[in-house]
A and B are shown apart, each in its own frame.
Chain A
Amino acid sequence: MQRDFHYYGTYCAASLAGYSHEESMAIAYSAELVDHCSRSFLAALKAPLSAATTQLAFEMANARTDILGLQDITRIWASFHFLPYDLNREVGKGGRRYRNKYRLICDTNGPLLRETVRLAKGKGLQAAGLAVHVLADTWAHRYFAGTPSLVINNMSRNVVELVTREDGSIDEQPVKFRNSLSGDDLSTGIFTCTPTMNSENTVMNLGHGRAGHLPDYSFARYKYLPAWAEYHEILKDNPSDYYKAFCQMVYALSFLHGSHESFETERYATSTVAPWEDRIRSFLVKRQLDIMDEWHALATSITGRTLEDFSLDKYQQEYLCASPDEKNDTFLGKFILAALEQKGMVTNKIYSSGNPLAGRSIEYREGAFAGMKDYLVLISDAARRIGRG
């Protein structure tokens, strides 16, 4: 998903869930920050690099694709953008290596999503924002895996976009892909994607690179053959999926706000969103590169307030100026803690399922002190929360 949904959409969802304007802004900022919190960003802040929630283009270009490099890539992308659906899924084909990759395929309403949202309970607005970013991406990025893999993330080139004409009829328009930075041309149906590479572990086969930005456009409805699907055609209906994602975000944020006791999968706050349904559905189908203005207008309609634009350096000074003891209480400090928790949880789940693709993991709550020192801060933070509670 793009900024229009992660920032403005999340603000709308948080407002509908009962958060105030300031709280909703914090949640929205955190949700959008997941797409920007790279190692370079953290290095500039002298913050723990293990808290990286994304990798920038030049970081990907420099990324190693040996075993350790692949594990590092998988830890980031599977934890924050391609949450695996079922780590113990019966695959029914392929050897162990194939099955491990298959089990990282992202989809909605999996057990890990429940864990993600519950993990954010009581951990602050930043954790809430991070959790709903992960939730939203399970809808946009479903059917792709957060690990470089040709045999999972590739797709046939016969992609067909379903374009609705003005008279309501549906036109099947073949999608053409190119490997350049010219951007996507909606009028001619030419989209940018990563180049074809027959190597299994190249970063060009990470996530939805082979589909370009199609999964991130709310208007896109298209049919394609994913590499893993045994020639079954997938219909990706982004307008419908994005609306469900929004309703589920409202539900999740209601849970985090304390409006109800539990968070379960396959539940959506459709009644809360119902007054805005027609409006949301109308701009989700708009064939535009982004719909930030539409989401912004909706946000203003819901709360009567104007949102400030997302600015990456908004909270940096606070973090830089804080003393070492106070850093964890700053905005970015809390976000970093939330990121470390999420990454640790997902990596641990993947490792515990017998899948080595995200590397080794320890259960820090059980008192082990081996592993990355960045994660030791979670032990002291947990102890501090227990002390308070």
Chain B
Amino acid sequence: MGKLYRIANILIGLAIIFCGLVLVAEPQIGIHLIIILLSISLIVYGLRTLIFYITMARHMVGGMRMLYVSIIALDLGLFSVTLLESSPIYLALFLSAVLIFDGGMSLMRALEARKLHAPYRMQLFTSITTVIAALLCLVFLRSPEALTYAYSAVLCYSACLRIASALKNTDIVYIP
């Protein structure tokens, strides 16, 4: 991992920890903040991918995937915005669904990497952490404050993992 990339990862990790602490400080609005950030990131990602598809990827073999990914991400982001007026229980359910999907995909990638004798442990830890976060959302469904605390704990844990991985000596896969 290059120096710049390490520094960026450490800073991102610290920023995530800061966000976790903000959520702990304001648990009543915590879940709404989480959903707002999620929706903004999804909408931005969807729009960027859509523009990339229109300008470049439509000429690429298999580029049509980008269109589907962009529209689904955009829709998910817009859908998240519509949830803000709903009850926190509903938000918790949605967040749990998103996290389970994300954790499931990570787990599949980790298992595939393991099958091909490639490094998989970090991916596996990330997927387990995500699924735990999803389950915590379900467990604390009726208590948005408790959910916020639980989610913050998971957020800080994944940030620590990111910082630890940035400090570790790693090799990159690069073909000269």
Q: Classify A-B as touching or not with yes or no (CB < 8 A).
A: yes
Interface of A toward B, CB cutoff 8 Å: 35, 54, 56-58, 60-64, 93-95, 97-98, 150-151, 154-156, 176, 178-182, 190, 192-195, 198, 200, 203-204, 207-209, 211-213, 225-231
List B residues 149-176 near A (Cβ within 8 Å).
Answer: 171-176
Provide the residues of chain B in CB contact with A180, threshold 8 Å: 113, 116-119, 173
Chain B: how many interface residues by the 8 Å CB criterion?
A: 28
Q: Are B56 and A151 in contact (CB under 8 A)?
A: yes
Residue pairs across A and B with Cβ atoms less than 8 A apart, 25 shown, are A35-B176, A54-B176, A98-B56, A150-B56, A150-B60, A154-B61, A155-B61, A156-B62, A178-B113, A179-B118, A180-B117, A181-B171, A192-B173, A192-B175, A193-B175, A194-B173, A194-B174, A198-B69, A203-B174, A209-B175, A211-B175, A227-B60, A227-B63, A228-B60, A230-B59
Q: Are A212 and B175 in contact (CB under 8 A)?
A: yes
Interface segment, B2-10, B34-42, B77-85? Answer: B2-10
Given that A61-B2, A178-B113, A212-B175 are known contacts, is A228 also in contact with B119, CB under 8 Å in the complex? no
Flag whether B57 is at the interface (Cβ < 8 A). Answer: yes
Q: Are B56 and A94 in contact (CB under 8 A)?
A: yes
Inter-chain CA distance A285–B129, complex, in Å, is: 48
Q: Are B59 and A93 in contact (CB under 8 A)?
A: yes
> Which residue of A is nearest B66, CB measured?
A198
Give the distance to chain B from A300, nearest Cβ to Cβ, in Å. 28
Provide the residues of chain B in CB contact with A208, threshold 8 Å: 175
Flag whether B1 is at the interface (Cβ < 8 A). Answer: yes
Inter-chain CA distance A209–B172, complex, in Å, is: 12
Provide the residues of chain A in CB contact with B5, threshold 8 Å: 61-62
Q: Are A62 and B174 in contact (CB under 8 A)?
A: no
Inter-chain CA distance A95–B173, complex, in Å, is: 31
Give the distance to chain A from B25, nearest Cβ to Cβ, in Å. 34
Provide the residues of chain A in CB contact with B173, threshold 8 Å: 179-181, 192-195, 204
Q: Are B60 and A151 in contact (CB under 8 A)?
A: yes
Given that A61-B174, A176-B116 are known contacts, is A156 also in contact with B61, CB under 8 Å in the complex? yes
Q: Are A60 and B174 in contact (CB under 8 A)?
A: yes
Provide the residues of chain B in CB contact with A200, threshold 8 Å: 52, 56
Q: Are B60 and A154 in contact (CB under 8 A)?
A: yes
Flag whether B55 is at the interface (Cβ < 8 A). Answer: yes
Provide the residues of chain B in CB contact with A209, threshold 8 Å: 174-175
Q: Which of A178, A194, A229, A230 contacts B117 (CB 8 A)?
A: A178
Give the distance to chain A from B121, nearest Cβ to Cβ, in Å. 12
Give the distance to chain B from A17, nearest Cβ to Cβ, in Å. 27
Inter-chain CA distance A35–B175, complex, in Å, is: 12
Q: A151-B56, A211-B175, A212-B175 are in contact. List 20 more A-B contacts (CB 8 A).
A: A57-B172, A60-B172, A60-B174, A93-B59, A150-B57, A151-B57, A151-B59, A151-B60, A154-B62, A178-B116, A179-B173, A180-B118, A180-B173, A182-B117, A198-B69, A200-B52, A207-B175, A213-B175, A229-B61, A230-B59
